[in-house]
Chain A
Amino acid sequence: MVEFVHASLLAIQAYGTLGLVFALAFHWRGLSRLDQGSRGAGLGFRWVITPGVVALWPWLAVRCWRTKQVGSFAEGPHASAAPGRLRAAHGLAWKALAVLLPLAVGVALWWRPIDPSSGDVTESLPRTAAPGSPDASLPPQPHQPETQRSH
């Protein structure tokens, strides 16, 4: 699991670095080609869209490439979402949440340990030490954060 997380974070790092490089090129040439509305846009606008450019660079790269092939790819002023489908998706999402969330939160509350003040939970609660308490002064164990439950 740790190896998998390491590899995933490394992949995300590489993806982000490529995204930053792409963002530079995109601001230099791609942006005005992709969307004519961005011509003459200021630095503030470029800053605002940069996190999205870094996050979605493969999508934009494909769009830039296709724009070169077929002309502007930005949706025209007459395009619009399909409201019927969106309404259906909204309804479905809330029906799913209405069932799943009470279930998940119910499980979390039903099986939560007995009140720590009763002294019966030393076995069931993870190590917790409020910052400043005597336990908190102990050196942290390798790969063992000392206060996990105080968020």
Chain B
Amino acid sequence: MSTTYRAIDWNRQKRRYDLTLVVLVALVFLSFMGVSLLRSTHITAETLLIRGSAVTALLLLHVILAIGPLARFDPRFLPLLYNRRHLGVTMFFLALVHSVFATVQFHALGDESPLVSVLTAYRQDYNVFASGGFQPAHFPFEPFGAAALVILFLMAATSHDFWLRNLGAGFWKALHLGVYAAYGLLLVHVAFGALQSERSPAYPLVLGLGFVVIAGLHLAAARKEARLDRAELGAEQDGFISVCRASEVREGRGRVVMARGQRVALFRQQARIFATSNVCRHQGGPVGEGQIVDGCITCPWHGWNYQPEDGCSPPPFQEVLETYNIRVIAGHVWLKATANPLGTRCAGSLVDDR
């Protein structure tokens, strides 16, 4: 959280995160180069750079795509989510290195502009039906990579919070869902490109395994979310709905419940239960999966803070979450399904655990 924009709001955690990222990327890159040199001493430095950057970028993209669903299943992955945008920007730069060197190496020697050659070379050189049948080795794979690079550029260029605020949360999120399209385009790029000449079965197997793991994680997470949305409502009385037992809300921790189609975050602090909207004002993170730190509800994604009693961020910040009225009766939490106007103070409800 910051009141004035900065290029990067550095803190100790971000520095450690980025340092680890740089070290791991360098390790993967160097390992790939080492293994490639062991397999073939004829390989040139340019080819090593082109392939190494591509492999590292693709691996990083898999990590990026896995973090979200993994964090839904196990909060121990949440620290990886904290600075995921730096992973994305790093991945874009690796993809850029790959595309620039590949364009120079394979398309700069003709009489056509390299960029035109990248997008049209297949027209003369490849004909997918050249020998009568379909020939994927003649399929133009470069435009798929180029399209993915454009998407990755737009995502990297708009990764700053300035864009989130000025493009609007809905549009920004929709734009960044483009990562799935980029992933699809890149797999097609690899399948019709590198896999046409690389004959080892290990390559398609690793690529397929990566896809199965990523798609499986996302579909399982979507199923878990859908199950929560379908949770049956408890009894209703005077506009209050019974949502859970008070003992299920642990001290200093959050719990997400459903109330008439919307998710509400319950928190317990000093034997009182409070309820706020579950949607963080920053990136829509699940506030209810966070905890109370220094008296404030803390979003698990990027650490944005809100006071439990009124949903307001501590000064000088201005973000506010809706609060909900709560009653704890006979060990059960009853929640008023209609949110209070923004900034409404709620004293919470005292829990008697005796």
Chain A residues within CB distance 8 Å of chain B: 1-2, 5-6, 9, 34-35, 37-42, 44-45, 47-49, 51-52, 55-56, 59-60, 63, 73-75, 77-87, 89-91, 93-95, 97-98, 100-102, 104-105, 107-109, 111-113, 115-117, 123-128, 130-132, 140-151
Contact = CB atoms under 8 A, between A and B. Distances in A.
Interface stretch (B18-26, B28-36, B176-184): B176-184
Interface residues of B, number: 101
Interface in B212-258: 215, 218-219, 222, 225-226, 229
Contacts of B165: 35, 37, 74-75
Which 3 pairs between the two chains have the least Cβ-Cβ distance?
A44-B7, A108-B191, A52-B157
B4 A9 contact: no
Given A38-B4, A113-B137, A150-B47, 18 more contacts: A5-B116, A41-B6, A47-B7, A74-B165, A75-B168, A77-B320, A80-B279, A83-B278, A86-B177, A87-B225, A97-B183, A112-B196, A116-B199, A123-B131, A124-B130, A124-B131, A124-B137, A150-B106
Given A94-B219, A145-B109, A81 B123 contact: no
A145 B110 contact: yes
A37 B4 contact: yes
B169 to A, nearest CB: 4
Interface of B: 3-8, 42, 44, 46-47, 50-51, 54, 98, 102, 105-107, 109-113, 115-117, 119-121, 123-126, 130-131, 133-139, 141, 145, 153-154, 156-158, 160, 162-163, 165-170, 172-174, 177, 180-181, 183-184, 187-188, 191-197, 199, 204, 207-208, 211, 215, 218-219, 222, 225-226, 229, 261, 263, 278-281, 283-284, 313, 317-320, 342
A151 B177 contact: no
A79 to B, nearest CB: 6
12 contacts: A2-B116, A5-B120, A75-B166, A78-B281, A80-B284, A87-B226, A102-B208, A104-B187, A109-B191, A112-B195, A151-B54, A151-B145
B4 A41 contact: yes
A19 to B, nearest CB: 11
Contact of B47 (A79, A87, A131): A131
Contacts of B183: 97
B120 A80 contact: no
A63 B166 contact: yes
Given A82-B170, A111-B134, A149 B193 contact: yes
Contact of A42 (B7, B98, B120): B7
Contacts of A144: 110, 121, 124-125
A111 B195 CA distance: 11
B192 to A, nearest CB: 5
B121 A143 contact: yes
A12 to B, nearest CB: 9
A132 B194 CA distance: 19
